[in-house]
Copies of this chain bind each other. A is one copy, B any other.
Amino acid sequence: MGGSTASEEVASMAEELGALIAQRGWVLLNGGRNRGVMAASARGAKRAGGAVIGILPDRDTGQASPDLDVAVVTGMGDGRNLINVLSSDVVIACPGALGTMCEVVLALNCGKRVILLGWEGWPQLEPYRRRGALVLAGSPSQAVDHVSTALAEHKASG
């Protein structure tokens, strides 16, 4: 997850993250549009040979990223954010604005592990960080390491 507009720095981080997700053999799921963190992470995953699912807010694929393997067309606007979160095993949030903040909160509310990549701490969510539901990562490679840990714990407990 992440902003629909992204600085060059954030976009390049998202692209690297997409590539690392693909190299681990995971499916990348994001908001599917052709801009911001969504487009950059999809491009990175695709170039690294991975699979990408985009959950679009629109009623058609006119604004879809060209790097999607499957476009899920919801016609629900931001209502699709809950679907993104429910469909993810682990949520990685790149810097974004209110939409991304909302996905972080939704994800914690659904009991998903959340990894904040390139965000400063967020005092209101400190209790979630303390109990391990929320993790801070300083780089894409740190973020995917946290995903591995989360999936391993999930498997062990499930």
Q: Which residues of A contact B (CB under 8 A)?
A: 27, 29, 51, 53, 55, 59-60, 69-79, 82-83, 86-87, 97-99, 101-102, 105-106, 108-109, 122-124
State whether A106 touches B83 (Cβ < 8 A): no
With A105-B105, A108-B98, A122-B124 already in contact, the answer to whether A75 and B71 are too (CB < 8 A) is no
Q: Specify which chain B residues have a CB less than 8 angstroms from the CB of A71 in the assembled complex.
A: 87
Q: Specify which chain B residues have a CB less than 8 angstroms from the CB of A124 in the assembled complex.
A: 101, 122-124
CA separation between A109 and B122, bound complex, in Å?
18
The listed residue (B60, B70, B99, B106) touching A109 by CB distance below 8 A is B99
State whether A75 touches B73 (Cβ < 8 A): no
State whether B98 touches A102 (Cβ < 8 A): no
Q: How far is the CB of A70 from chain B (nearest CB, A)?
A: 6
Closest residue to A120 on the B side, CB-wise?
B124
CA separation between A97 and B51, bound complex, in Å?
34
Q: How far is the CB of A44 from chain B (nearest CB, A)?
A: 19
Q: Specify which chain B residues have a CB less than 8 angstroms from the CB of A122 in the assembled complex.
A: 124
Q: Specify which chain B residues have a CB less than 8 angstroms from the CB of A79 in the assembled complex.
A: 75-76, 79, 82
CA separation between A79 and B29, bound complex, in Å?
19
State whether A27 touches B70 (Cβ < 8 A): yes
Q: How far is the CB of A13 from chain B (nearest CB, A)?
A: 20
State whether A76 touches B73 (Cβ < 8 A): no
State whether A78 touches B87 (Cβ < 8 A): no
Q: Specify which chain B residues have a CB less than 8 angstroms from the CB of A82 in the assembled complex.
A: 75, 77-79
The listed residue (B75, B87, B98) touching A77 by CB distance below 8 A is B75
